Amino acid sequence: MSPAPAVGPLRRILVEVHRGGTLDAIADRVGVAPDEAAAMVDYWVGRGVLTREAVSGGCPPAGCGGCALRSSCTSQGRPGRPLLHTIRPAGKP
pLDDT tens digit sequence for 25-81: 889 999 999 889 889 988 998 999 988 776 555 566 666 665 655 555 655 555 555
Q: How far apart are CA 31 and CA 39, in angstroms?
A: 14
Predicted confidence at residue 36, as pLDDT, reads 92
Whether 40 and 13 have beta carbons less than 8 Å apart is answered as: yes
Predicted confidence at residue 90, as pLDDT, reads 79
Q: Which amino acid is at 37?
A: A
Predicted confidence at residue 75, as pLDDT, reads 55
User: What are the φ and ψ backbone dihedral angles of 46, each rounded to 5 degrees?
Assistant: -60, -30
Q: How far apart are CA 62 and CA 46, in angstroms?
A: 33
Cβ neighbours of residue 16 closer than 8 Å, sequence gap 6 or more: 26, 29, 30
Instruction: Choose between 87 and 43: higher pLDDT.
Output: 43
Going through the chain in order, the beta strands assigned E by DSSP cover 50-54, 85-89
Reported pTM:
0.64
Instruction: Choose between 9 and 62: higher pLDDT.
Output: 9
